[in-house]
Structure 1
Amino acid sequence: MAQIAFILLCHKDPEAIISQARQLTAAGDYMAIHFDARANPTDFQRIQDALRDNQNVTFAKKRIKCGWGEWSLVQASLNAVEAALEAFPRATHFYMLSGDCMAIKSAEFAHDLLDREDVDYIESFDFFESDWIKTGMKEERLIYRHFLNERKHKNLFDASFQLQKKLGLTREIPVDLQVMIGSQWWCLRRRTVEWVMKFCQERKDVMRFFRTTWIPDETFFQTIVRHLVPDEEIRTSTLTFLMFTDYGMPVTFYNDHYDLLLSQDFLFARKISPEAADLKQRLGDLYAAKGVEFQISNEGRSLFRFLTSRGRNGLRFAPRFWEAESSLGRERELLIVVAKKWHVAKRLIHKIKEVTGIETIEYLFDEASCPMPDLGGIQTQMGKRARHRRALMRMLYEYYGTDRMVICMDPKNMEMFQDFFSDRSTARLLEVESIFSDDYLAGHAMRVGLAGKNTPKQSMERLLPTIRADVMHESDRIRDAGFENYYRISEGRDAQENAMALSQFLSISPEQALEIAQTNHLFED
């Protein structure tokens, strides 16, 4: 009878990991855990202490600092697989999971499915012939060497790539390999896993090649398994149910998706919301249950396509199920710097990032040229950014791997402020109060199209009081809104006073706040 060793890669939420391990091993299965070496050591100790007496749980002997798109994710997987092979000689199958995955079938059902056929389950499509990669780099992932984390060192990553491209520093793919691509959520037989580990020891050339490819967790196992295992023993599919939005982000499941998930022809689902406590409890109880019958309808993806297509055509009749409870995330903080003088706000947030390391983005909802990462298209048009602002912000948090972010916004965006402050996340607003000279207001009038170079002086003199009143009105609306976490710095205050507001707004020390408040020429035009 099948016995599964789950290979769990995780980096946060120790209580959820402990619960997941206990639920999956209660039915006699096993788990090998790799907890990111970048994560909080206290969290890892808590997991170890809680699972110390569970003989069906082991840990990777060497923990790796993991980064999206890096080889480190593959190495972490190999370390966990090695630990599982050694600790669990009776395991027949090895199943890759993340901390966001949960079983949507019982262990009884899963074991029966794996016993039916002596095969491996792994997506493995031809890298060059398939359309698995929708946007961005394709061949360039392989033929150039990628040494840096694209998300942490975007400019250096791009510079390295462009330099190699300019100098023609391409490399050959190992001649005996057909590179494949697919989901990293696989389930492999013990024999296959042993073959892969032996291959890793023998083929140092292949290991060197994949260590500097980009996003190797989508190609390494997919290529090696297809190289070692006969085609008839591979099912080119994953047993983990996951869906993606039009913008390339995974769909998140909530409490009201229990019946939908159970009806899918998969063993696990990703990704389950951390806030869906009821769903997680019900799915956790399900895995150890006996005699449960499942009615498979498999309508999840078709329902998703139907609902999203109606929305695109203006026929939306109810909230899309994948947008239910659309929140930035209860654990996240959105720090909004509001300033009419954009150059002042930009100077301020650049200094904030320099001093605190908090990720910052300029006027993303006001300035089309604002530098933005590639998020699958949502960032390309100002209308899309505003219309899908919560989705956009969630994607930015995911992209930068952070729970705190500073953004700049124009004071005219009252509707957006109210929307973000109504979210479950923590929103803070810092208003930057500047002195507006007549020359500045005249320039502002020309920038927004209210005046031109040839506007008569008399007309400009009549216009300026109206513009000044509008600017003051926007500021008054913000103050009158009564936002809970509202702070203000002013050109008319000294650095010590402004530092107090900055310290509260950013939750930083008075010394760091003073360094920011003393930014050279902060308020200058």
Structure 2
Amino acid sequence: MAKIAFILLCHKDPDAVINQAQSLTAVGDCMSIHFDARAPRAQFDTIRDALKTNPNVTFATRRVKCGWGEWSLVQATLHALHAAVAQFPDATHFYMLSGDCMAIKPAQYVHDFLDRRDVDHIESFDYLTSDWIKTGWREERLVYRHWFNERTQKKRFYAMFELQKRLGLTRAIPGDITVMIGSQWWCLRRQTVESILEFRKQRPDVMRFFRTTWIPDETFFQTLVRHLVPERDIDSRTLTFLMFTDYGMPVTFHNDHYDLLLSQDFLFARKISAEAHDLRRRLGVLYACEGARFRISNEGRSLFTFLTGKGRTGHRFAPRFWETESTLGRERDLLIVLCRKWHVARRLVDCIRTSTGLPCIGYLFNDESCALPDLGGIQDSMDKRHRHRRALLRMLYEHYDSDRLLICLDPSNLDLIEDFCRDRSVTRLLEIDCDFSDRDLIEHAMRVGLAGDGTPPETLARLLPTIRNDMALETDTLRDRNFAHHSRLREADPPARNARAIAAFLDCSEPIAGALATTDQLFAE
């Protein structure tokens, strides 16, 4: 059975460190602690005195002053690993943690998870060819030497970089290694850790190289594991759940995130707020629980993106460069059916096609599987459809040899609606206003990735009001735009009123509009 030696890097809050160590070692696991040498000695003494009688806790062989982006973080980790390997000979796995990390699954679940597969869990992607680095330096981290801390010695850091760049003082990457990159939060097997420590003694050239790379905690272990361990024995993922904001800062979790964290397919999470006392207490108790069952929904990242996007949604007021001087044509009509319940819109559109012969396309800008004719590849991906939206529609007009075309859009696509309504063509909107039950909202959340089959009812209960309010806001925003030729068909309205809306939208006769308004089971689920 797996026995974990946690490698804890921390620099503050001695009480939280003590609680974390006691919680994680209470069920038989162990821990090696490195407490930053920049922190007051008295805080370290407090931690050591509180844990000195705990046989499952040891301390790094040496305390290092740590700095972000420096080799010191790797050095501190290696000191803690040395102590753990020597002190805990029966430890099978070594799990890297920070003081802000906490378990989001019980020890029994964690051990069973590690026992199922004999692999190392560490993110490791090719440094030069992967897209793990989104912006900023790439090769510059490696081919130049970095002696100073970018945050605390910014002038020296960039002065040395510019000097090396001007003089052409680049260096080669050790020829037999492929530099990898990934999250610093890993879980490695004992034989892997022992191989790394031995490699460190045998290859001083590699150690010198990484000592002066920038942010080596994202490359050192990731590179060595790939160098020393067969690919089949590596699971390139972190077992620690973490998210980042649009500004590259880690997301912090608070008391009301308990259910969300437990439903993620991870073993630990960071960063847990120091002020989230209730969350820390509940997660601390959780690790010792037995027999707990979990419904994994894994919707955390998509849910965070959805919620944080509200209130700062940007709108585009100028056409993209490829759309300059581009129009659907003054003589053409574009009819757009807006409805959140896609099956209702499709049902009505099928009847319109049958009754009028009008060319009709479904949710071509929302649904990848929407049936489209072969238009030379522009229809192949959702990205191409959005990027070349007007060209796509012009080709559809020509394909159907018609000056009228009907498409469906989700009301959330306000940028598309505004763009088409600004065109020189005549754009008509038919908004279908459906009633939504809680079940409807749940299905909507699942369709857009905000929830899954395993999402706990408590999470859904908190999510539903947000979705309902979001829909109401979309509706209000749509009407506030005062688009010309905007008609509404409401589930709650009598057929006669809905017939008038359809007639205005299609510019058709009253008998045809009346028949469409009374379509059998139009709003049925």
Query: Into which bin does the TM-score normalised by the smaller protein fall?
Result: 0.5 to 0.7
Residue 45 of structure 2 corresponds to 45
**1:353-392 alignment to 2 at 5 Å?**
none
AA matched with 1:287:
Y
Output the CA distance in 1 between the equivalents of 2:212 and 2:27. 39
Equivalence for 1:207:
207
Paired AA for residue 276 in structure 1: A
Give the structure 2 partner of residue 265 of structure 1. Answer: 265
Alignment partner, residue 169 of structure 2: 169
Q: CA deviation at 1:271?
A: 0.2
2: CA distance between counterparts of 1:310 and 1:100? 27
Alignment partners' CA distance in 1, 2:76 and 2:151? 19
Matched, 1:114 2:120: no
Deviations 1:237-263 (A, max 9, x none): 000000000000000000000000000
How much identity, in percent, do the aligned residues show?
72
Which consecutive unaligned segments of at least 5 residues does structure 1 have?
316-525
Q: How big is each residue's C-alpha offset from its partner over 1:31-85, in whole Å with a ceiling of 9 and x where there is no partner?
A: 0000011111000000000000000000011111111100000000000000000
- Residue identity matched to 2:154: K
Quote the Cα distance in structure 1 between the aligned partners of 2:293 and 2:314. Answer: 39
Q: Distance in 2 between matches of 1:118 and 1:97?
A: 20
For residues 372-521 of structure 1, the aligned pairs below 5 Å read: none
| Counterpart for residue 375 of structure 2 | none
SS at match of 2:188: strand
User: Which residue is equivalent to 1:104?
Assistant: 104
Query: Shift of the alpha carbon at 1:179?
Result: 0.3
Determine the structure 1 residue equivalent to 2:407.
none
Inter-partner Cα distance in structure 1 for 2:259 and 2:83: 35
Instruction: Give 1:304-343 correspondences, 5 Å limit.
Output: 304-313=304-313
Tell me which amino acid in the other structure corresponds to 2:248. G
Residue number in structure 1 paired with 2:405 = none
Residue of structure 2 equivalent to 1:396: none
1:148-187 Cα distance to aligned partner (Å, 9 max, x none): 0111110111000000000000000000010000000000
Q: Tell me the SS of whatever aligns to 1:312.
A: coil
Match for 1:54: what amino acid?
N
Three-state SS of the structure 1 residue aligned to 2:55 is coil
Q: Does 1:126 align with 2:129?
A: no
Deviation at 1:231, TM superposition (A): 0.4
In structure 2, how many angstroms separate the alpha carbons of the residues matched to 1:314 and 1:298?
27
Q: CA deviation at 1:133?
A: 1.1
Partner of 1:81: 81
Map of 2:66 onto structure 1? 66
Partner of 1:97: helix, strand, or coil?
strand
SS in 2 for 1:191: helix
Residue equivalent to 2:135: 135
Match of 2:28 in 1: 28
CA–CA separation in structure 2 for the residues paired with 1:73 and 1:194: 19
1:373-413 deviations in whole A, cap 9, x for unaligned? xxxxxxxxxxxxxxxxxxxxxxxxxxxxxxxxxxxxxxxxx
**Secondary structure class of the residue paired with 2:177:** coil
Q: Deviations over 1:445-490 (max 9, x none)?
A: xxxxxxxxxxxxxxxxxxxxxxxxxxxxxxxxxxxxxxxxxxxxxx
* Structure 2 residue aligned with 1:179: 179
Question: Structure 2 CA distance, aligned partners of 1:195 and 1:61?
Answer: 19
User: Using the alignment, how far apart are the partners of 2:281 and 2:120 within structure 1?
Assistant: 29
Aligned partner of 1:279 in structure 2 is 279
Match of 1:16 in 2: 16
Q: What letter corresponds to residue 73 of structure 1 in structure 2?
A: L
Partner of 1:289: 289
Superposition deviation, residue 312 in structure 1:
3.3
Q: Residue 191 of structure 1 aligns with which residue?
A: 191
> Which blocks of at least 5 consecutive residues in structure 2 are unaligned?
316-525
Larger radius of gyration: 2
Instruction: Tell me which amino acid in the other structure corresponds to 2:75.
Output: Q
TM superposition score normalised by structure 2: 0.59
Q: Distance in 2 between matches of 1:96 and 1:305?
A: 27
1:225 aligned partner, one-letter code: V
- Cα deviation for residue 314 of structure 1 reads 6.4
Q: Deviations over 1:71-125 (max 9, x none)?
A: 0000000000000000001100000000000000000000000000000000000
> TM-score with structure 1 length normalisation?
0.59
1:313 offset after TM fit, Å? 2.0
Alignment-mate amino acid for residue 187 of structure 1: C
Q: Output the amino acid matched with 2:301.
A: R
TM superposition shift of 1:310: 3.6
Q: Which residue of 1 aligns with 2:344?
A: none
Which residue is 2:303 aligned to? 303
Q: For 1:294-327, what per-residue CA distance to the aligned partner results, in whole angstroms no more than 9, with x for missing partners?
A: 1100000011122233443269xxxxxxxxxxxx
Structure 1 residue 234: deviation in Å? 0.3
Secondary structure of residue in 2 paired with 1:306: helix
Q: Residue type matched to 2:37 in 1?
A: A
CA RMSD of aligned residues (A): 1.0
User: Aligned partners of 1:291 and 1:162: how far apart in 2?
Assistant: 58
Paired letter, 1:230: P
